[in-house]
């Protein structure tokens, strides 16, 4: 076993995404600003949904889970990248690398399934409104969210075990700003082709299967919205569904590009750019998309601000 030939004292070198030129320094601080917005936006969304009883519905419970996943995802990659850039160190331990791989693959996988659950929730709410309270009971909703976390974590464990079952006897330089396992596999001195085929099949299950559920759900939703007689019903359904579809398009587009490709076709520059999109930009955009286009979230936020101001007087 390769585990026996490697110790957790072995370090990898993260080459990062920025150098210390003026342009890259500006981009680095821009990423920190995006991280701050994502950190505050997602944590505020989780707290808002938890504190406001009017948001204690299946849709907002699932949205709080999405915000929690995005919060954890951006905290998995950016702090280490920022520490390495500011300190001048590029090292990451094998244990640290394994931890990053586990969390980011677990969270990405969990989001895949959660977005499918959110699409199903909208399908039931719009196409079968009279059965909604029965089909989306708190127990069922919680169970589906839990399964999303469990399936994602299972994927994370499999990827960590498989990635570190290979030997890394050559270069320890990872052409990335965090430990992304496809970039790590390139450094292996073993034949990883079989694992790449298994990975491709896993990606089909983790990405394409949930996408199929989402497409089927929203096809029915669109047909139902077209036949709605109420203008207000049209508007509310369109606003909710368009927000979700925007998130789905960003998330799955990047995921399909990153993982349903053989390692031989990878470009470090393209991989870094796409990784920035789905690990940094998307977690920032999700709370903005859902809050700016959602009157109930906006109302709850204003209500919380009003309480805060009245408490200061």
Residue 16 lies in a domain: yes
- Kindly state whether residue 312 falls inside one of the protein's structural domains: no
pTM: predicted TM-score of the whole model, two decimal places? 0.86
Q: What is the CATH number of the domain that holds 112?
A: 1.20.1070.10
Residue 313 included in any domain:
no
Residue 266 pLDDT: 65
**Residue 168: inside a domain:** yes
Q: How far apart are CA 133 and CA 112, in angstroms?
A: 24
Q: Identify the domain containing residue 139 by its residue range.
A: 11-303
In a domain, 2, yes or no: no
Give the CA distances from residue 199 to residues 77, 94, 180, 203, 263, in Å, rounded to whole numbers and listed in that order: 22, 21, 13, 6, 11
Q: What interhelical angle do 282-292 and 58-87 show, nearest 10? A: 140
| 66 part of a folded domain | yes
The reported pLDDT for the residue numbered 250 is 76
Q: Are 239 and 293 in contact (CB under 8 A)?
A: yes
For 175-193, the pLDDT digits (tens) are 888 998 878 888 888 888 7
- The tally of domains found in the chain comes to 1
Q: What is the mean pLDDT of residues 230-240?
A: 65
Check if the beta carbon of residue 8 is closer than 8 Å to that of residue 95: yes
Residues 6+ apart with CB under 8 A from 206: 109, 112, 113, 155
In this prediction, residue 1 carries a pLDDT of 46
| 311 in a structural domain | no
How confident is the model over 52-101, as pLDDT tens digits? 888 889 989 999 999 999 999 999 999 999 999 999 888 999 899 999 99
Helices 209-226, 94-127: inter-axial angle, 10-degree rounding: 30
């Amino acid at each position: 076993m390769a585990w026996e030939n490697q110790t957790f004292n072995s370090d990898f070198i993260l080459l990062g995404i920025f150098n210390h030129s003026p342009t890259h320094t500006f981009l680095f601080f821009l990423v920190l600003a995006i991280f701050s917005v994502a950190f505050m936006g997602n944590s505020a969304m989780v707290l808002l949904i938890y504190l406001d009883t009017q948001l204690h519905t299946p849709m907002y419970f699932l949205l709080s889970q999405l915000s929690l996943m995005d919060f954890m995802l951006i905290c998995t990659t950016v702090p280490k990248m920022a520490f390495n850039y500011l300190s001048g160190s590029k090292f990451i331990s094998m244990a640290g690398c394994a931890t990053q791989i586990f969390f980011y693959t677990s969270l990405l996988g969990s989001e895949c399934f959660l977005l499918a659950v959110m699409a199903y929730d909208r399908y039931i709410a719009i196409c079968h409104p009279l059965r909604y309270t029965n089909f989306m009971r708190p127990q069922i909703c919680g169970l589906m969210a839990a399964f999303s976390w469990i399936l994602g974590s299972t994927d994370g464990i499999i990827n960590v075990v498989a990635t570190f079952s290979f030997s890394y006897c050559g270069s320890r330089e990872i052409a990335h700003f965090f430990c992304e396992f496809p970039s790590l596999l390139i450094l292996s001195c073993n034949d990883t082709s079989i694992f790449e085929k298994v990975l491709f099949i896993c990606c089909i299950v983790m990405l394409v299967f949930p996408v199929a559920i989402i497409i089927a759900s929203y096809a029915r939703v669109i047909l139902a919205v077209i036949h709605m007689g109420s203008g207000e019903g049209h508007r509310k359904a369109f606003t909710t569904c368009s927000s979700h579809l925007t998130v789905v398009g960003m998330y799955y587009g990047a995921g399909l590009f990153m993982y349903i490709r053989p390692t031989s076709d990878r470009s470090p520059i393209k991989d870094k750019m796409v990784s920035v999109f789905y690990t940094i930009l998307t977690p920032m955009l999700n709370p903005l998309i859902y809050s700016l286009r959602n009157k109930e979230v906006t109302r709850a936020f204003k209500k919380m601000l009003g309480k805060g101001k009245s408490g200061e007087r």
